[in-house]
Amino acid sequence: MSDRYAVILAAGKGTRMKSKLYKVLHPVAGKAMVDHVLTSVNEAGIDEVVTIVGHGAEAVQELLGDRTSYTVQTEQLGTGHAVQQAADQLAAKQGTTLVICGDTPLFTAETITRLIDAHEQSGYKATILTAPADVPTGYGRIVRGKDGHVMKIVEEKDANDVEKLITEINTGTYVFDNALLFEALDKVGNDNVQGEYYLPDVIEILKEDGHAVGAFQMDNLDESLGVNDRVALAQANKTAFKRINEKHMRNGVTIVDPDATYIEADVVIGADTVIEPNVYIKGKTVIGEDNHIYAGTTIRDSIIGNNVKVRSSEIEESEVKDGVDIGPNAHLRPNSSIDENAHIGNFVEIKKAHIGAGTKVGHLTYIGDATLGKNINVSCGVIFANYDGVNKYHSTVGDNSFIGSDVTIVSPVNIAENAFLAAGSTITKDVPSKALGIARSRQENKDGFWDHLAISKKD
């Protein structure tokens, strides 16, 4: 097998997106389009990748890092001109080069591998990846001779009426003999409506020079979708989410309604987990086995253990260990950690806090910047007042303590193990082990008040 290279075209302005965000950075299933493309190229075993960047180059480089090298196309003068920018890195090398667009996020590593394998086995010097299209409008057409061999590719804007009737379209993805590719690029002109240097012209140049050119046709067009506007972006997202959901279901995950479940590309889910409708699982979330994610839940960049129940809640950048029960309508904000068999109930907000194993936080509570030990009972309406308007402060609560309803803990304080905090207290000082902390006005009963009130009403 010869050395394999790839050129990813990611320099286009993307004006039809009507967006301030660089086109190839628009997310599909939670991952930038160009990241999808590079991931598939890397998984296909390509030896060296060059990404052509233009507008937003710094943002693309920051995202993709050292998984690829880069070259800048300062003027957008067409796809042929874009590939030519990689000459310094690739022109002197021998091997096979894949050219793929950075706005085609649905291509799989399997398709890329099949395409390159077919090219190398056929002996062609160029292979075009094509697809059948019921409505080919907007795509370049594959023009074949009477013998069925590829003659040329004609762009939509340059096609005549007969050529526009052709339904085999160019997906914009090619494989070339590397040395011949860069030789032919030097011969490409810009005598066309747009005044640009088209990569498809390389096909005609190679044929004129006597080299064999072939086509590898995909079964359908979906995988080759190029995202040029928001409509296509929505279509790509729909296809990507469907593909992701099917993968998880085949791996033993129950998804009650795949059409109403949104799992992003880098999410990992264990077997026998059940996911109800209207659930969003985002980022690099890892979910274990035997969990139940109820309807209306959002989980982002979090780690969920096994046998966890999450009811209509939001979890962000947090860790939830085995056997935890969350919700409904709880909110775990970033840097929260919930240990085994804890309970986080309805309308509870946790922020940058650690909740120990077996601790129960039932309802209507805010815990921020705190460390709670094991087997603590946090009653209704408890507030950790952690912010004084300038700084945030941390409090701790020891194992087996009891916090009564409507307690406010004014941080920073330390509540020792086995302590009791009386309902309605405002705790501003440390509470030692086995002590009762109480900070509220003493109750006073006014005898005969009812009669006094009745007399007042008559008057």
Would you please indicate which residues are annotated as catalytic (active-site) residues?
Answer: 363
Nearest residue to 419 via CA among 361, 378, 363: 378
Strands (DSSP E) contained in 83-187 are 96-101, 126-132, 141-144, 150-154, 168-177
Q: Which residues contact 453 (CB under 8 A, 6 or more apart)?
A: none
User: Is the bond preceding 328 in cis, omega lying within 30 degrees of 0?
Assistant: yes
- What letter would DSSP give residue 443? P
User: What kind and span of H or E run contains 314?
Assistant: strand 314-316
Q: Rounded to a whole number, what is the largest CA-CA distance in the chain?
A: 114
- Give the list of residues 6+ apart from residue 134 with CB closer than 8 angstroms, or none: 167
DSSP string, 341-406: T-EEEEEEEEEEEEE-TT-EEEEEEEEEEEEE-SS-EE-TT-EEE-B-SS-B--EEE-TT-EE-TT
Alpha carbon separation from 358 to 257, 322, 373 (Å, rounded): 33, 11, 9
Element (H, E) at 237: helix 230-250
User: Which residues are within 8 A (CB) of 94 and not within 5 positions of it... i.e. 6 or more apart?
Assistant: 2, 3, 178, 179
The angle formed by the CA atoms of residues 269, 272 and 274, to the nearest 5 degrees, is 80
Residue 36, classified by CB atoms within 10 Å of its CB into exposed (0-12), middle (13-18) or buried (19+), is buried
Tokens linked to 103: 């706005």
